[in-house]
Structure 1
Amino acid sequence: MPNGQPETLTLDRVSTPVGEVLLVTDGEGAVRALDFAGYEARMTRLLARHAPGAALVEGRAPEALRRAVEAYFAGDVRALDGLTVKTGGTAFQKSVWAALRAIPAGETRSYGQLAAAIGSPKAVRAAGLANGQNPIAVIVPCHRVIGANGTLTGYAGGLERKRWLLAHEARG
C-alpha cells in the first residue's frame, strides 16, 4: 500500500479459443493473476491472499500484455515467457512457481520432478499444493504438471482446458 492507499489492480478480459481469460495487472504492468472466466471467485480468493486490501477495477491491461496473451493462444507458445509476474506467497510457493516457469512449452513434469527441481524431492505433496495455489495460470504454467504415471491430474481451469493447453503447446 503505497502512501497508505490501497493498491489498485486492473481486471481485463481477453477472448481465447478456450474461453475468456481474466487478466489482472498492477500499475507497473506486472501480471498479478490470470484465470479463466467461470473461475473468477477462485481468482478473487487467491488475489485477496496475494494482494490484501487491493481494489480490483475493470479496465484494459497494457497493450503489450494483451498482445502476448493473444499471441500465445494464436500459436506463439513462447509469447508469455518474458512477462513480469508478481505474487505474494511463501518462499516455498515462489520457488515452485519459478520452477513451473522453467518448464519449456511443449514439455511436462511430474509432481515428483517439480519437487526435485526445487531441491526438495520429498516435498511432492507440498509442491502439488503450491501448484494449486498459483494465481497466474498459463503464464506460470501449472498445467504442465502431470501425474507420475503420465495422466492428467487436476487443473483449476478444468481438465479439458489442460488437455487443450498441452496439445496447443506440443504443436508450437
Structure 2
Amino acid sequence: MTIHHCTVDTPAGPFTAIVDADGVVLASGWTPDAAVLIPLIHPRLRPATTVARTDLGAVTRAVTDYHAGDLSCIDSIPVKQHSGEFLEHAWDVLRKVPAGEPVTYTEFAALAGRPAAVRGAASACARNAAALFVPCHRVLRVGGALGGFRWGLPTKRWLLSHEHADR
C-alpha cells in the first residue's frame, strides 16, 4: 500500500499530513517531519514507509484554505483512526464542534454521551493523530484555560484566535 506525506508552510508553522492510498488522513500536525507523525498512527493502520509528495490534492488544499480563512473546508476531509469504541466516537464528536465555538473538556464529555468521562474526553484529545481535521484544539479547560496541545500552546492559541477572528 502506498502512503504519502506532504508538508505545507502555514501561518501557524509547517504542517504535515500523512494519507493512505485513498487520500484519507491517517495523521497530521504542525511539524516539518513526517517521522514524528508515524508513531501516532495505530499499529493496524501504520505504514512501514511513506513517500513524500509536494501535493496531496484535497488534503493540501484544505490545509491551505483553512489557514487562509475557510474554516469549514476541513470538515469534508476523510480521516481514519483506530482505537476503542469511546475514543472513535469521541473523535467523530470532535469533528462536529464548530470553529469559533470551543467547548470545555466537561462539555466535550457530555457531547460524547459520557458526562462523567472527562478524563476519557481529555484522552481522546491527547491521542488524536489527525490534528486540525479532528479539531482537538477546540477543547479547553473549565474557565477558558488552554490545557494541553501536542503541537504547543502557541499553535493552539493561534488556531483559536484564527477561528474566532473569522466568525
Tell me the TM-score normalized by structure 2: 0.92
Deviations 1:40-71 (A, max 9, x none): 55422112535235432212443222111100
Deviations 1:81-120 (A, max 9, x none): 1111111121111111111111001111111111111111
Give the CA RMSD over aligned residues. 1.7
Check conservation: 1:8, 1:54, Cα contact below 8 A: no
Give the AA of the match of 2:150.
A
Match of residue 152 from structure 1: 146
* 1:159-170 paired onto structure 2 within 5 Å: 159-170=153-164
* 1:89-108 paired onto structure 2 within 5 Å: 89-108=83-102
Structure 2 Cα separation of the partners of residues 116 and 53 of structure 1: 34
Structure 1: runs of 5+ lacking an equivalent: 1-6
1:12 and 2:1 aligned: no
How many equivalent pairs are there? Answer: 166
Tell me the TM-score normalized by structure 1: 0.89
Give the number of the structure whose residues are more often helix, by fraction.
1
Structure 1 stretches of 4+ moved >4 Å: 38-42
Give the AA of the match of 1:23.
A
Structure 2 Cα separation of the partners of residues 98 and 138 of structure 1: 13
Question: Which of 43, 49, 56 in structure 1 is aligned with 2:37?
Answer: 43
Match of residue 133 from structure 2: 139
Structure 1 Cα separation of the partners of residues 79 and 42 of structure 2: 16
Structure 2 Cα separation of the partners of residues 102 and 135 of structure 1: 17
Identity percentage of aligned residues? 37
Give the AA of the match of 1:113.
E
